[in-house]
Copies of this chain bind each other. A is one copy, B any other.
Amino acid sequence: MRLAVDVSGGDNAPDAIVKGAIEALEHLQGDDTLLLVGPEDSITKILREHSIDDPRLSIEHAPEIIGMDESPVEAVRSKKNSSLVRMCNLASHKCENPIDAVISAGNTGACVSAATMLMRRLPGVHRPGIAITLPTFHGPVVVCDAGANPEPRSSHLLQYAIMAETFAANALNISNPRVAVLNIGSEEAKGTKIIRETRDLLKEAPGVNYIGYLEARDLFDGVADVVVTDGFVGNTVLKLAEGLARSLISNVFHAIMEIDPGMATQLEPLAKKLFSRNDYHEYGGAPLLGVNGVCMICHGSSESRTIANAIRTTSQYVREHVNESIVQRLAEVAPVVEPQLKALAASAAAADSAA
């Protein structure tokens, strides 16, 4: 297996990325290799600093850098020598021998654009979606989409359910994952038109363990394994959970520190454990489901251990043939929901022409 890592992406690049790749070496199996994509000089320098000379690591020189604030599509079109574009080109099926996966902690929008434009989509997929694994006290919950597609159609949301369910089953070993649609109430009439359409599609789709609507307050209660939502809401949920968990845990321990510093010292290992259980760094990365290849997107503030964890989960994703299962599941579902999707398209067209 050949995995490529974007050395220029993320707030702590390039050091944390190269260091993460070095830490990941112990997780590699058989003849797995890591390709470090970025400015050759910097990479060589960091490897030398850590006295690393390992045949499983190689370098692909990519001098250009895409900033965190750059317009995604523009950046991908104009910066052919950026690590992101170079990496996704190497993973494209236009290559004779494409690499197996790409991993980046860079500009998420640019990563989605580069992967979608250069690696293309899996057969049958309309729009790729990011599947983020949220840690909860009841185990992981996969939320899809977490930001690739802020205004999806119901046909996209149906595919997010099927792709994320396949990911949860194959890569996270959750058997028969319970799939829910995030909504602002549990009653059937609640929410937007797109949500009600998605519910109808999921009820029809064969082999989906659809359990109904889920309200955000129950997201952490272990009632669903896969939660489907649009990219705007999914991204908001992810960032809110991150911000609130950090704020709450640190405030609890600050309050204890004020009452009794000795007790706080005693509880320090617990605080660390709780932080790590609620910490996206532990999961490493979120797959961009639906691209023809494997693209793992990491948090912008990834540390070396985040990257090492992302490399580990990426190799698991490749090894378990998640994409092959996704293609198969989509092909099973497509003919069954086709009449419904056609009716939805026709009613949307009628509404447009009436307007």
User: How many A residues touch the partner, as a band?
Assistant: 35 or more
On chain B, the residues within 8 Å of A243 by CB distance are 216-221
Contact between A274 and B252 (Cβ–Cβ < 8 Å)? yes
A184 (CB) vs chain B CBs: closest residue: B235
Oligomeric state, in number of copies?
Answer: 2
On chain B, the residues within 8 Å of A54 by CB distance are none
Q: CB of A136 within 8 A of chain B?
A: yes
A256 to B249, CA, bound (A): 13
Q: CB of A192 within 8 A of chain B?
A: yes
Contact between A270 and B255 (Cβ–Cβ < 8 Å)? yes
On chain B, the residues within 8 Å of A187 by CB distance are 69
Contact between A232 and B136 (Cβ–Cβ < 8 Å)? no
Contact between B217 and A242 (Cβ–Cβ < 8 Å)? yes
Closest-CB distance, A246 to chain B (whole angstroms): 8
A277 (CB) vs chain B CBs: closest residue: B251
Contact between B231 and A184 (Cβ–Cβ < 8 Å)? yes
On chain B, the residues within 8 Å of A182 by CB distance are 236
On chain B, the residues within 8 Å of A263 by CB distance are 263, 266-267
Report which A residues bind B (CB closer than 8 A).
69, 71, 109, 136-137, 147, 150-151, 182, 184-185, 187, 189, 191-192, 215-221, 231-233, 235-245, 247-249, 251-252, 255-256, 259-260, 263, 266-267, 270, 273-274, 278, 352-353, 355
List of 3 A-B pairs having minimum Cβ-Cβ separation, nearest first:
A217-B243, A216-B240, A217-B239
